[in-house]
Amino acid sequence: MADAATTLPSAPLKSSLEEGIMRLTLNTPERMNALSEAMMAALFAALTNAAKDNTVRVVVIDAVPGKVFCADHDLKEMTADANIFPKSRAAARS
């Protein structure tokens, strides 16, 4: 992988590589950089690629400026699917 910077429109993750330093930047400040499925998939792919790239010496994970670095899992996304946690929801109603 050559030194480069890539950012797709609305990409949840920005990636750049310069002088052996790969910088992965969480890029959803409007959602407090919550770990959505898209964010986790992008992180997994970027870290997998970094592990295979001999030019990468270090990986730095940061976030675009905002209130927080990362707000944990994206609970809105997780609970939007009615099939997620069905047993725990039923138990909570009992």
pLDDT digits (tens, 9 = 90+) for 8-17: 446 899 999 9
Nearest-angstrom CA–CA distance, 77 and 65: 23
Q: What is the pLDDT of residue 65?
A: 87
Closest residue by Cα to residue 43 from 62, 20, 58, 57 = 62
Looking at residue 80, which CATH number applies to its domain? 3.90.226.10
Range of the domain at 17: 4-93
Determine what percent of the chain falls in helix, strand and coil, rounding each to the nearest 5: 35, 25, 40
Q: What is the pLDDT of residue 1?
A: 45
**Is 80 in contact with 44 (CB distance < 8 Å)?**
no
Q: Please list the ranges in the chain whose pLDDT falls under 70.
A: 1-10, 81-94
When divided into structural domains, the chain yields a total of 1
